[in-house]
Amino acid sequence: QVQLVASGGGVVQPGESLRLSCEAFRLTFSYYGMQWVRQAPGRGLEWVASIGYDESNIRYGESVRGRFTISRDNSKNTVHLQMSSLRPDDTAVYYCAQGPSRSDFWSGYRNWGQGALVTVSP
């Protein structure tokens, strides 16, 4: 059973930075892209960022572009989300999710992590 374990959440002040990590277990990590998705309190889900299996095809949602950076370390089966210039409206549970592989589009979003809570508050 694939497991995605997110870490790095916490409470920060506006303008500060935070790095989330998501480690994959029982997954041939280097075959798959990875995604970050968030859910603000009382709101729906919002796609945040994605990265291809080979670090190509990096994309960002409009609300985080220029402030967040997605990266991956295939040697550690880990994807990161570096968040800078954080704002109160970035407060959310952040989920990592499996992306598609080279050969299987439908593997995208098959597995999700349990989420990491980020709170941005003065």
- Can residue 101 be called a binding residue for another protein (CB under 8 A)? no
Minimum distance from CB of 120 to another protein (Å)?
A: 21
> Of these, 41, 56, 62, 122, which contacts another protein (CB under 8 A)?
62
User: Would you count residue 56 as binding another protein (CB under 8 A)?
Assistant: no
Rounded Cα distance between 3 and 65, Å, is 28
- Residue 79 is given by DSSP the state E
In this chain, which of 18, 22, 34, 50 binds another protein, going by CB under 8 A?
50
Q: How far apart are CA 57 and CA 70, in angstroms?
A: 11
Q: Which residue in the set 21, 35, 78, 101 belongs to the binding site for another protein (CB under 8 A)?
A: 35
Pair 40, 47: CB distance under 8 Å? no
* Distances from the Cα of 83 to the Cα of 58, 64, 87, 93, 104, angstroms: 15, 8, 10, 13, 29
Task: Find where tokens 């995605």 sit.
Answer: 4
In the bound state with another protein, the residue whose beta carbon lies nearer, of 3 and 17, is: 3
- Given the rule CB under 8 A, which of 19-27, 41-49, 66-74, 75-83 is the region that contacts another protein? 41-49
